[in-house]
């Protein structure tokens, strides 16, 4: 990448979260009086042309004017050319296929930021693992040096936390966490998204941050079911608390850190996603309780609830590493129609009694 060009950030994915995060990065550049370029890529030429003309993402945020320093394109090669940081705002189950197309176009030193929260169906890999596998595979195919291939791990980061896009797009204050293998890389990403209303923290626990971000979607689905059945706050608080316990068990079993689970990517994200009607997973759970079949959710929701596909993968991973996740297992049974939403509470409450302190064992 030529040093004569201004630094550039490419955000791939013009859905709600991609658009909101691109605005954050553009606003952060303005606040820092930086000449950093920020480009938002979407796959539909007509939609991106309209956004470039109106500076509004009509399907997601029809009343929000996007910053003047935010560029729009449907040409991925144009978006990636010269980009030193590439943000992947792509649904979990589409990430691998999209990244296989993008990988040859990336700058050799580009840092990648994953915004997706989920496990890949089939492989059970976290999003950072999918990114590393695809990028290393691309480098192997072109006979890149071994140190370049192994160095991919240090260029992959994840961002998570209480990230409800509809609140962030209107600049309601929030915090998030950026995780990378080194604090230097995490700080590099944090520096480009530190806006007046968006404060990023950093850590090096990629596993914990990703597990917290993806399992909370499953727990939010269960809380949404409680909402749909008009259960009270006691019920919802119980699911959230025990949900955090099983999220923690899985994170620790995979090598995550306990303190991450009490932070923004653990408790923080869980509270926001389980409590807010803006959460797509919370909404999906409520709709299931109201009688919508799992395979029909797409007909009444404009956005994807990642937990519908990731819940069975989370349960499978938990069984593989010997971790008990009763809420996740019960959610999967509802999705598989093994039990009804009405049977969910009895299934969970009828389990053998145990000590609460077992939550981290």
Contacts of 307 (CB under 8 A, 6+ apart): 217, 218, 220, 221, 281, 284, 331
The predicted pLDDT at position 3 comes to: 46
Contact between 244 and 211 under an 8 Å Cβ cutoff? The reply is no
- Residues 225, 208: Cα–Cα separation, whole Å: 26
The predicted pLDDT at position 4 comes to: 55
> In what helix (H) or strand (E) does residue 150 lie, and over which residues does it extend?
helix 146-150
The predicted pLDDT at position 361 comes to: 45
> Rounded to the nearest 5°, which phi and psi values hold at 9?
-120, 130
Q: What are the 10-residue block averages of pLDDT along the chain, 361 residues in total?
A: 71 97 98 96 97 97 96 98 97 95 96 95 96 95 91 96 96 98 97 97 98 95 94 93 96 97 96 92 93 87 84 96 95 92 84 67 45
**Residue 279 in marked binding region:** yes
Domain annotation for the chain: domains and CATH numbers: 8-204 (3.40.50.720), 207-360 (1.10.1040.10)
Q: 0.95 cut: is pTM over it?
A: no
**Residue 351 in marked binding region:** no
**Residue 306 in marked binding region:** yes
The predicted pLDDT at position 294 comes to: 86
**Residue 280 in marked binding region:** yes
The predicted pLDDT at position 358 comes to: 63
The predicted pLDDT at position 153 comes to: 95
Which residues are annotated as catalytic? 216
**Residue 60 in marked binding region:** yes
Q: Return the closest-CA partner of residue 315 out of 335, 296, 341.
A: 335
């Amino acid at each position: 990448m030529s040093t004569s060009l201004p630094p550039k950030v490419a955000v791939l994915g013009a859905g709600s979260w991609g658009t909101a995060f691109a605005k954050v990065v553009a606003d952060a550049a303005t606040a820092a009086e930086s000449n950093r370029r920020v480009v938002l890529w979407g796959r539909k030429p007509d939609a991106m042309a309209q956004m470039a003309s109106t500076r509004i993402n009509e399907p997601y945020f029809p009343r929000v004017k996007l910053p003047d320093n935010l560029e729009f394109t449907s040409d991925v090669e144009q978006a990636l050319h010269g980009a030193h940081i590439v943000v992947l705002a792509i649904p979990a189950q589409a990430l691998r296929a999209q990244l296989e197309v993008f990988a040859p176009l990336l700058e050799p030193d580009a840092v990648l930021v994953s915004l997706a929260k989920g496990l890949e169906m089939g492989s059970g890999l976290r999003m950072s693992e999918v990114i590393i596998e695809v990028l290393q595979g691309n480098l192997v195919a072109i006979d890149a040096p071994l140190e370049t291939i192994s160095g991919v791990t240090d260029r992959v980061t994840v961002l998570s936390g209480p990230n409800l896009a509809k609140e962030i797009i209107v600049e309601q204050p929030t915090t998030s966490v950026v995780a990378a293998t080194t604090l230097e890389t995490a700080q590099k990403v944090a520096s480009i998204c530190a806006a007046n209303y968006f404060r990023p923290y950093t850590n090096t626990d990629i596993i914990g941050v990703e597990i917290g971000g993806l399992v909370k979607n499953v727990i939010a689905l269960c809380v949404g079911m409680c909402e749909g059945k008009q259960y009270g706050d006691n019920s919802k608080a119980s699911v959230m608390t025990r949900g955090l316990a099983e999220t923690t068990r899985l994170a620790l079993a995979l090598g995550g850190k306990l303190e991450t689970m009490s932070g923004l990517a653990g408790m923080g994200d869980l509270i926001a996603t389980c409590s807010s009607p803006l959460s797509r997973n919370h909404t999906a759970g409520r709709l299931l309780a109201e009688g919508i079949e799992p395979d029909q959710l797409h007909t009444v929701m404009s956005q994807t609830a990642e937990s519908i596909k990731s819940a069975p993968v989370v349960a499978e991973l938990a069984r593989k590493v010997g971790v008990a996740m009763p809420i996740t297992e019960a959610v999967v049974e509802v999705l598989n129609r093994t039990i009804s939403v009405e049977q969910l509470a009895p299934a969970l409450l009828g389990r053998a009694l145990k000590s609460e302190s077992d939550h981290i064992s």
